[in-house]
Amino acid sequence: MRVIFAVFIFQFLTLSIHSQRVFKKGEVNEKSLRKEAKLDRMVMNYGIQFNFGPTYTMTGKTKSYNITDNSGARGVYTLDPSGRLGFNAEFGYTYFPLWKGIPIPALKKSRILDYIEGGIGFKQLSGKEETHIDFKNALGEITYSEDGIGKFRNNFVYLRTSFHSIVFVGKAKIDKSRKYYIDNAIGFNLDYNIIQGNKTYEDPGLSYIPVQNFHNPFVAQLNYSLGFGIRLDRAWMFIPTLNLPILGFYEWNGFNANMNWFSSKYWPIQFSFKFMKLREKNRSECKGARLNDIDKQMLREHRKNN
């Protein structure tokens, strides 16, 4: 009887130990499956981008002019333009071409053009102009003075596209890819002023109105952008960006990107907090999908550790 009981206990303990081992092995397999599922995700060469941030209008220095009026008025008027804050918001696409480009050995780049992006957005450009006038008599003495101020907020919808080249900096990496990079781009924007700002000075106004010019509602510009890219993971990137128009094709205002309003010129600049998200798909959904160098290295490390 004791022998039978001892055999029973031995079999029970053996089954218990075996069950625990199977359970622990199951935990390991679950972790492995999670790793394999992550590795099975493939980053595509296209995605979305969205950005938002402030705008500001840069202006020139305060300038003074002599009054020229057929009514015989004499004097000097001073124009003092200044910028004001606005905002912008945009949503669009991003695309990394698959073709080979022109290499830049000095920068360790395989091609000049790295990706293309575009979008549709809304932006508000705002500014202010203050005018001081000293009226004088025939002897050049000031008889009286006037002050006036004009403020405007122009609201644009726009289409934009740009062509980007990136240069990696630093040694930090995410999934074997460099984490930080400098982002340079040349692009074009087409804007339309759907809600125009004020075209008259605030009351009481001025008795003498200097010559005024107002930019056409339609705007076409060449622009340059400079950003600092931060890779958040395999698919997400964060790129704070400064966007500067460098040439206005329409309305032509010389070899610059200034925009007229009241009697002054304003140069709009834009700062954006841009986020980029590349699409991810399971490799099983991609027929003929091939592993890139990063994925191959990850699989090698995974197999080596397991």
- Alpha-carbon distance values, 91 to 48, 50, 163, 166 (Å): 8, 4, 16, 21
- Summarize pLDDT for 222-240 with one digit per residue, the tens: 999 999 999 999 899 999 9
**Model confidence band, residue 91 (pLDDT cutoffs 50, 70, 90):** very high
Strand partners, 99: none
Mean pLDDT value of segment 261-270? 97
Quote the mean pLDDT of the chain: 83
The pLDDT of residue 28:
41
Please give the structure tokens belonging to residue 160: 């934009």
Strand partners, 34: none
Most confident of 5-14, 73-82, 281-290: 73-82
The residue ranges of DSSP E strands in the chain, in sequence order, are: 41-59, 63-66, 75-95, 115-136, 142-174, 177-195, 218-231, 236-250, 259-261, 264-282
Q: What percent of the chain has pLDDT over 70?
A: 78
**Please, what's the b/e burial string for 194-209 (b: 16 or more CB within 10 A of its CB; e: otherwise)?**
eeebeeebeeeebeee
Q: Which of 93, 83, 32 is nearest to 60 (CA)?
A: 83
Bond before 251 cis per omega within 30 degrees: yes
What is the Cα–Cα distance from 219 to 247, expressed in whole angstroms? 11
- Summarize pLDDT for 44-71 with one digit per residue, the tens: 999 999 999 999 999 999 999 998 776 7
- Summarize pLDDT for 170-190 with one digit per residue, the tens: 888 877 778 999 999 999 999
157 close to 122: Cβ distance less than 8 angstroms: yes
What is the Cα–Cα distance from 175 to 235, expressed in whole angstroms? 11
Task: Give the CA-trace dihedral at 205, 206, 207, 212, to 10 degrees.
Answer: -110
The pLDDT of residue 230:
96
What is the Cα–Cα distance from 209 to 153, expressed in whole angstroms? 21
298 close to 304: Cβ distance less than 8 angstroms: no
C-alpha of 93 from chain center: 12
Strand partners, 95: 46, 116
What is the Cα–Cα distance from 258 to 242, expressed in whole angstroms? 17
Decide if pLDDT at 78 tops 90: yes
| Contacts (Cβ under 8 Å, ≥6 apart) of 294 | 175, 176, 177
